[in-house]
Chains A and B, each alone.
Chain A
Amino acid sequence: MKVFRYAFITFIALTILWIDLPGPIPINVGLFGKRIKTEIPLLELNFQLGKSRVIRNFRTQLGLDLRGGSHLVFQTDTSRIDMADLEDALQSTRDIIEQRVNLFGISEPEVRTIKSGNVHRISVDLPGVYNVAQASQLIGQTAQLHFREEAEKLSPDASGSAVFNSLIKETGLTGKDVKKARVDFNNNNGTPQVALAFTPAGAKLFAQITKRNVGKPVGIFLDELLISAPTVQQEIIGGNAVISGNFTTEGAKQLAIAINSGALPVPISLIEQRSIGPSLGAIEVQKSVVAGAIGLGMVMLFMIGYYGRLGVLASVALITYGLINLAIFRAVPIVLTLPGVAGFILSIGMAVDSNILIFERIKEEQRKGKTFEVSIRLGFGRAIDAIKDANLTTMLVAFILFNPLNWEFLPQFGLVRGFALTLGIGVATSLFTGVVITNWLIKVFYKQKK
């Protein structure tokens, strides 16, 4: 039985260490005259579980404030939406925004609906995006594609502006008839253009329009903006068309996204934005790591200086605590924000408390003339009540601040939650490491000595 227990503990310990690895570790050793060159890769899960595939890596997830990016909150204007359709309208608005953002090639965006009283908001997190004006434009545009033809009474004119002015008759063909728009490159000169594929109904309509407008221009409008007014050469059957203009690749991409996603069902406006440049985040990460390391070093020096051998054990327990916590952050995963890091650092300071309480009680028992062995047993027993009681209040506050049920009358913003989460996890973990691991270390350490 004992063998199994040790095997299990070793397995858990190795897994935790593996998750915590900062990077792949190269191995280059000579063994029996042969050189072995390989590396320990980072832990990654990739397996089939029933029908779904599990792919997970274990890297530290940094929040927008640490890796840079923008956090946007849009207020929705739901005044013209029926109560019955509200949920649907908000959901599809959310989905369209997500689609637009995804199509624009932003990695790991997060789009959420937030309810606050009877106000609905949509929050959008965009890692790596710093130009808020541009991002907000992309998200909030209400672009709708129209095809217009010349009004019959006006005769075609040579000048461009007249053409534009004459293109006022709606053909009834709109973005809704477009099945898919994508960026394409012109076969002749390689300039970017947007290729449209119509739905069957749209294809029929488009064929009719082109048929009756041979030799005349047809205007393609985005809202009221004329994008292109090609002159029809012949009737186009088959349901494909190309919009060419003076596009940059980026411009063509944006247009394709706009056409694909159509108009937002609910009008939105930006009411809050926070964007943090990448340099600031990197500096703060570095500073936090240094501060954490120096603080930890000071705590360990202090503990060893004051408690001697027991202090060494406490330091080992503390490092174990840090490693377990990091593994939890990576495995859950927990998105680390700057206040989150502060919560973690604070919890390290608090974690030592369990050790100090235990050690002081042990010393107290020893002063009463009990043997070391008995003192340890009694000291632990007496300390645990106080440790439990004392840590519960911290967990209680962390719980309320984290707002796990997402109650709308409590804060729902990231920074406070980040702090509460890491502090709560930290305290919970310290209950475990402070008591179990210290106890275990003392037993192992002192048994061997005897």
Chain B
Amino acid sequence: MINFLKYWRQYATISVIVIGIGLFALVRWGFTYSIDFVGGTNVQYSFDTPIDEPSIREVVGRLQYEIVDMSVEKNEVSMRLTAINEQQEQQLRQELSDYYQSEITIIRSETVGPVIGAETLQKTGIAAIIAIIGILLYVTYAFRNLNFAMAAIVALVHDAVVVVGTYALFSHFLGAQLDTLFVTALLTTMSFSVHDTIVVFDQIRDYRKHYGAGKIEEYANRALTETMVRSLNNSFTIMFMLLALVLLGGSSIRFFALALLVGTITGTYSSPFVATPEAVWFEKMRG
């Protein structure tokens, strides 16, 4: 048996540092919201000939569309514009096609009106709140023990904050956008966090059933020793799948998979190193 609980200060330090960096990024740089939430137009075109950014900016400028973001790669351009309608989009394509004397293939074209964006933001928020309440109720029910439930919730909030903070870093340095998929990843992380915590707590519950109410620290340490391998192995398998998706998967779900990957790591970390010390602490404090 390894005395995991002895090092609780180290665990707390790691958590504080990771969350601190994330929150700093969040406050300092904030998020770039995708058109899902704020409305706008994304287009991605492919040309027969190589293209250059200044000329495209000029053509778009002539049409008086507002560019939010643009990237050009060989003969492909992706742009984010403030919302234009389908006729304007067609005109843009026509102008670009005339300018380069080239056929244009639409790789992607998306427009979300600002009204829809605001509505999506609201609905996603409601879904997230309902999901969180559902998880909380379930945790309380599953343990029938408020101390354990509260500890699981602390771990869950910890994981959510880590994912949000890390995503703010991705947003600033890698250009990830906050979209509906990110919210989905966040909720999945929360469910995984509970999933992982339950396995540890289940073991502690088991010892209590068999050996009566003894020293909670000893049970916790034993449970951690017993479940550590399982917990790591399980996370490895999930991480293999997600890593494959991040490195090899399609570009449109790359950041989604990355957020899930961060969620898996923190979800695994928090069960033994956040939830369990908390549970022990609550049990001792409140009895």
Contacts and interface: CB of A to CB of B under 8 A. Distances in A.
Interface residues of B, number: 74
B2 interface: no
Contact of B124 (A73, A132, A411): A411
Contacts of A338: 250, 252-253
B90 A415 contact: no
Given A279-B105, A389-B202, A411-B124, A356 B237 contact: yes
Contacts of A401: 127, 131, 184, 187
A133 interface: yes
B86 A273 contact: yes
**Highest count of chain B CB atoms <10 Å: which of A389, A390, A397:** A397
A299 interface: yes
B180 A416 contact: yes
A411 B180 contact: yes
B235 to A, nearest CB: 9
Given A397-B191, A419-B181, A345 B245 contact: yes
Interface string A388-400: 0111111011101
A393 B136 CA distance: 10
Contacts of B192: 394
Interface string A257-281: 0000000000000111111110110
B108 A276 contact: yes
B170 to A, nearest CB: 17
Contacts of A403: 127
Nearest to B142: A389
A277 B195 CA distance: 39
Contact of A295 (B120, B134, B244): B244
A75 B124 CA distance: 20
Contacts of B113: 75, 271-272
A403 B131 CA distance: 11
Contacts of B142: 389, 392
Contacts of B247: 291
Contacts of A292: 241, 244
B248 A73 contact: no
Interface stretch (B159-167, B212-220, B226-234): B226-234
Interface in A113-140: 116, 130-133, 136
Interface residues of A, number: 73
B106 A130 contact: yes
The binding surface of chain B is classed by DSSP as helix
A203 to B, nearest CB: 39
A346 B252 contact: no
Contact of B130 (A288, A357, A410): A410
B107 A280 contact: yes
Contacts of B229: 360
B120 A349 contact: no
A390 B123 contact: no
A298 interface: yes
B241 A345 contact: yes
A170 interface: no
Given A133-B86, A397-B190, A275 B202 contact: no
Contacts of A271: 113, 115-116
B18 interface: no
A365 B252 CA distance: 46
Contacts of A130: 106, 109
A413 B206 CA distance: 42
A342 B253 contact: yes
Contacts of B240: 295, 298-299, 302, 349
B138 A393 contact: yes
Interface string B90-125: 100000000000000111111111011001100110
A287 to B, nearest CB: 5
B181 A415 contact: yes
B256 interface: yes
26 contacts: A131-B106, A132-B90, A133-B87, A133-B90, A270-B85, A271-B116, A274-B109, A280-B107, A288-B249, A291-B248, A295-B245, A342-B249, A346-B260, A352-B237, A353-B237, A353-B238, A364-B226, A391-B195, A392-B138, A396-B131, A396-B191, A397-B135, A397-B187, A409-B126, A416-B180, A416-B184
Interface of B: 44, 46, 85-87, 89-90, 105-113, 115-116, 119-120, 123-124, 126-127, 130-131, 134-135, 138-139, 142, 180-181, 183-184, 187-188, 190-192, 194-196, 198-199, 202-203, 206, 226-227, 229-230, 233-234, 236-245, 247-253, 256-257, 260
Given A133-B86, A279-B105, 20 more contacts: A75-B115, A136-B86, A273-B86, A274-B111, A275-B106, A291-B248, A339-B184, A339-B256, A353-B237, A357-B199, A360-B227, A390-B198, A392-B138, A393-B135, A396-B138, A397-B190, A401-B127, A416-B124, A416-B180, A423-B188
Interface of A: 65, 73, 75, 116, 130-133, 136, 270-277, 279-280, 283-284, 287-288, 290-292, 294-296, 298-299, 302-303, 306, 338-339, 342, 345-346, 348-350, 352-353, 356-357, 360, 364, 382, 385-386, 389-394, 396-398, 400-401, 403, 409-413, 415-416, 419-420, 423
